Copies of this chain bind each other. A is one copy, B any other.
Amino acid sequence: MINKRMQGLGEARSVIREIFEYGNRRKREIGADKVFDFSLGNPNVPPPAVVNARIAQLIAGEDQTSVHGYTSAAGAPEVRRAVADYLKNTFSVDMTEDYIYMTCGAAASLTVTLHALLSGGEEVVVIAPYFPEYRVFIEQAGGVCREVGAAEDFHLDLAALDSAIGQNTAAVILNSPNNPTGVVYGEGELRALAALLARKNAEREQPVVLIADEPYRELTYGAQVPQLLALYEHTVVCYSFSKSLSLAGERIGYIAVSPRARGAAQLYAAVCGAGRALGYVCAPALFQRVVASCLGQSSELAFYQTNRDLLYGALTEMGFSCVPPEGAFYLFMQAPEGDAAAFCARAREHELLLVPSDSFGRGGYVRISYCVARETIENSLPAFRALAKSYHL
C-alpha cells in the first residue's frame, strides 16, 4: 500500500532541483567553470564566526547529556525567552516565551502553523508569484491554495486581495523580502492590508490570520521590513535562521504567535499539538542554544548586495528588464519574448541555468539566484551578453 500523492510528490523533483541536477551533470561534461548555475537558493556565505564558537563552547561544557538531550517540545525555556525578548526589544511588540515555538526551520514553521489553523477545506491566500512549496504545505494541511496575483510592480494588489478574501479564508501568507521577486512590502501597503483584514473580520466570527514567512528578513539592501506583529494583531511569524546565519541544513527556526491574536493561547496550543502530530518532537537541541546566542547577528550579507548590484546593473544595461530587488537573493527577470520556458532553453545553450517562473504561479519571467560565487557572475556576463544579442536587445 502506497499513498499515490506522496509517491507523486517524491517522484516529481521540483523544477528547481531538476535544473540543479542538470547543472551538476553538465559541469562534469564541460567543466565547472563553464556552467553558470543560478538555480538554487542555498546560502554561499559561511555562518558568522560566533556560530562555530558557540558550538565549540557548548560541546566543551560539563553536562553533555543535557546539551544533546530532549528539550521541552516547544523549545528550551531559556531559548524561547531569548527569542521573545529579542522580538520585544527589537520591534517594540508584545511577546513572551509562552508564544514562541522553536521549529526545524521555515518549512516546519509553515506546516505546523497551517496544521494548527486549518481543519479542512479553508482557503489560504498566497500572492503570485510565490514559493511553490506553499501549495504542497497548504494542501497537506487540508486547505485550498488560493492564488492572488501581485500588482504590476509585484507589490500587493489590494483590490485583488479584497475580492479574493471571503468567509472561507483562514489565512494569508506574506513572504517579504519575497522569493522569487526580491520585493519588500512597504509599511503603507501593509497597513492598508491590515485595515482591509480588519474590515473583513468585522463580518466574520474568526479573524483572518496573517502568516509572515520571513526567512529573508535580514537580507535587504536598504529597505525596511515592517514587523507584522506590530501592524496586525492576528499575526503568526514563521521564521528561520537558514539565510541570516547560513544554517539552511541545520533546520532551525521558530513560530511566534501574536499574544494579541484572538484565542492566542488556544492557537499556540494548536501549534504545539500540530508539532506533536507531525512528529516534530523538539527543534535540534544544540542549534536551539546556538541561535539563542546569535540573535540579531548575521552572515556577511553585504556579499549578496555586491552580487546584486553587479548582476542587476549588467543585465539591465544589456537591455533585460528586471524587478529591482530590494531584498532576498533573487533577481526576477522578464523573458524577452514572454515565454519563460523557451527563454530558459535558449539561455541553457549559453550554459546559463535559470528557473522559469511558471512553477511560481506566474509566467513570462525567470528567477536568477545570485547567492553564487562572485566569479560565477563575472564569468557569466559574456554569456548573458550573447543571449541578449540573440534577442536583439
Contacts and interface: CB of A to CB of B under 8 A. Distances in A.
Contacts of A112: 279
A200 to B, nearest CB: 13
B110 A266 contact: no
Contact of A280 (B56, B107, B115, B276): B107
Interface string A57-71: 001000011011111
A266 B65 contact: no
A171 B206 CA distance: 39
Interface string A280-298: 1111111100000000000
A3 interface: yes
Interface in A49-90: 51-52, 55-56, 59, 64-65, 67-71
Given A270-B2, A284-B250, A279 B56 contact: no
A69 B7 contact: no
B246 A1 contact: no
A246 B136 CA distance: 34
Interface in A164-213: 170-171, 206, 209
Interface in A258-304: 263, 266-274, 276-287
Contacts of A4: 119
A11 interface: yes
**Copies of the chain in the assembly:** 2
Interface in A207-238: 209
A112 B3 CA distance: 11
A331 B266 CA distance: 36
A46 interface: yes
30 contacts: A1-B119, A1-B209, A2-B270, A3-B273, A6-B115, A6-B271, A7-B273, A9-B273, A10-B274, A43-B65, A44-B65, A45-B65, A46-B68, A47-B68, A52-B59, A52-B64, A55-B55, A65-B246, A68-B247, A68-B249, A68-B250, A70-B248, A105-B279, A107-B279, A107-B280, A109-B279, A140-B277, A249-B286, A250-B285, A251-B284
7 cross-chain pairs, A with B, having the tightest CB-CB distances, nearest first: A249-B285, A9-B273, A10-B273, A111-B279, A10-B272, A10-B269, A6-B273
